[in-house]
Amino acid sequence: MLQKLMAEGLGTALLLIGVVGSGIMGETLAGGNVAIALLANAIATGCMLYVIITVLGPISGAHFNPAVTLAFFVRGEIDTRLAIAYVPIQILGGILGVWATHFMFDLSIFQTSSTLHRTGVNQWGSEAIATFGLLFVIFGGLRSKPDAVPALVAIYITGAYWFTSSTSFANPAVTIARGFSDTFAGIYPGHIAAFILVQIVAVFVTLAIFKVLFRNSAT
């Protein structure tokens, strides 16, 4: 259990370092070109995902995401004790990752996002689609080609930064942690709850779809 919790906390922290750090660096070097900053942000996040899923997957399953943990729990693939333990560790790891990133870039460590408003039906719909896509990639990949899951998730999230209007949070721990950063990757704290609600609802809708899509299969 200790190894699993350490892997989930460390992995989520590294994920947020990748997300927030590349956002800060991209915005700093892009000279005001938001497209270049987002491209840097997406590529770095995808690279980090591939690494942490490959390295830590054999230890904890590499969830790094309460929505993914919830999906595995609902499917009966992890027990209640593990699911309850994973979620706070993922959230804490994400926040610590944000603070570590602020330290690296010589920013105020403790801050909240005050300017990056992400709200509205379009953004909520975007998060629902992003979460569906992430779970589709994970469970579809586990069914068809398990060894490819790290690459599939990394490629999907890199692309989803661009084809979703919300830039594909698809992760309650990431959503909460990004509220603690008033940088390129931040989110106004008042908009966090709606994102998380949509992400959780999307888990149950997605699993219902999978029961039909993957009927009579191992998944």
Q: What pLDDT is recorded for position 217?
A: 54
Sole residue written with tokens 């070109």? 33
The whole model's pTM is what? 0.94
pLDDT band of residue 219 (cuts 50, 70, 90) is: very low
Residue 198 domain-assigned (yes or no) = yes
Residue 176 domain-assigned (yes or no) = yes
Sole residue written with tokens 């590529």? 43
Asked whether 5 and 59 are in contact (CB, 8 A), the reply is: no
pLDDT band of residue 86 (cuts 50, 70, 90) is: very high
Q: In this predicted model, what pLDDT tens digit does every residue of 87-138 receive, in sequence order? A: 999 999 999 999 999 999 999 999 998 878 899 999 999 999 999 999 999 9
Residue 151 domain-assigned (yes or no) = yes
Residue 112 domain-assigned (yes or no) = yes
Where in the sequence is the domain holding 76, given as residue range(s)?
A: 2-213
Asked whether 40 and 28 are in contact (CB, 8 A), the reply is: no
Residue 218 domain-assigned (yes or no) = no
Mean pLDDT of the chain: 95
CATH number at residue 126: 1.20.1080.10
Report the C-alpha gap between 131 and 167 in whole angstroms.
Answer: 11
Residue 87 domain-assigned (yes or no) = yes
- Domain count across the chain: 1
Residue 142 domain-assigned (yes or no) = yes
Residue 219 domain-assigned (yes or no) = no
Q: What pLDDT is recorded for position 151?
A: 97
